[in-house]
Amino acid sequence: MKIAVTGCNGSVGRAVVEQALKRGFDVVGIDLGEAPAEELASRHGFQYIQADLCDYDANLKAFERCDALIALAARPNPGDYVWQTHNTNVVISWNALRSASELGIKRVVQASSVNVLTLVYSQEHKFRYFPIDEDHPIEPDEPYGLSKKIAELQADTIVRRNPDLRIASLRLHWAIPNREYAYRLDPAKRRSDLWGWVQKESAAKSFLLAIGDEGEGWSGHEVFFVSAPDTTQPCDTRELHELFWPNVPIKEGKCLEGRMSFFDSSKAERLFGWKH
């Protein structure tokens, strides 16, 4: 399989490329910046293309003769909170998805974000229940989360006209080297992102699993939370719940035991076999 990976110079993008090459895939890495370090650029099976993916034709050229697309290119935060992040991310997502459909690429995975919810960049937090799953309403009030919500809507639109195209939108949490990287003595500092995280290489693995044969049990467009099954805090999750979010109910049939995450990523395990 030949995989196009946009945003390949980013932290998760680099990990995706490394894992794909180790699995024997050919990889076309695409990014706006200069070519990656020589140890990657010279690897067998890797080709780098420098391109501005806001240009639709640049997408068509870069993805040519690829079998699958992993789309990670995006501005990673709200930026100016005005137009830059929103406009850039929405255009890049549409260009990638539309190019893939035009070229006959049947498997696409795009990076969404837990920030489709009202998390760290939001003024007001609206949590309906814990643990949060894919049925939870998404109501962003800032441009980054909105751009990711629109990217998911664009995927819905693309597959309506291309029913043989399969798209996964992965709602990644904060991708970091390990739990200790995020540890804070004062849990109040991370209450707005519910103390979530995902180990970087494990996040990368989710993209490769989502384009693989493990996902034969679903079609069309699906969204998935990709978050570690535990919080970054050493205390019991019920303590965090009672102290910071006592008015948010626990979803019927669910619980928050031990150091369990406030996010439920079981759909990713069920449909394409991802475990943190």
Q: Residue 236 falls within a domain, yes or no?
A: no
**Does residue 243 belong to any structural domain of this protein?**
no
Query: Is residue 256 domain-resident?
Result: no
220-245 pLDDT, tens digit each:
999 999 999 999 999 999 999 999 99
Q: Per-residue pLDDT averaged across 241-270, rounded?
A: 97
What CATH number did the domain enclosing 106 receive? 3.40.50.720
Q: Measured on CA atoms in the order 220, 107, 51, 77, is the torsion positive or negative?
A: positive
Question: Residue 41: inside a domain, yes or no?
Answer: yes
Is 264 in contact with 171 (CB distance < 8 Å)?
Answer: no
Residue 249: predicted pLDDT: 98
Q: Average pLDDT for residues 90-117, to the nearest whole number?
A: 98
What's the confidence (pLDDT) of residue 220? 96
Mean pLDDT of the chain: 95
Is 115 in contact with 79 (CB distance < 8 Å)? no
pLDDT of 219 over the 80 cut: yes
> Is there a domain that residue 254 lies in?
no
Q: What separation in angstroms does the CA of 92 have from each of 56, 85, 144, 217, 275? A: 8, 11, 13, 28, 29
Q: For 41-56, what is each residue's pLDDT tens digit?
A: 778 999 999 999 999 9
In a domain, 191, yes or no: no
Task: Specify the pLDDT at position 261.
Answer: 98
pLDDT value at residue 271: 95
- Domain residues for 63? 2-181+197-230+262-272
At residue 36, the pLDDT reads 79
Does 237 reside within a domain? no
> How many domains are contained in the chain?
1
Task: Say how far apart CA 260 and CA 108 lie, in whole Å.
Answer: 30
pLDDT reported for residue 14: 95
State pLDDT tens for residues 163-203.
Answer: 999 999 999 999 999 988 887 768 888 999 999 999 999 99
CB 227 within 8 Å of CB 197: yes
The model's pTM: 0.96
How large a percentage of the chain has pLDDT more than 70?
98
Task: Enumerate residues 6+ apart whose C-beta is below 8 A from 103.
Answer: 60, 63, 64, 66
Q: Does residue 246 fall inside a structural domain?
A: no
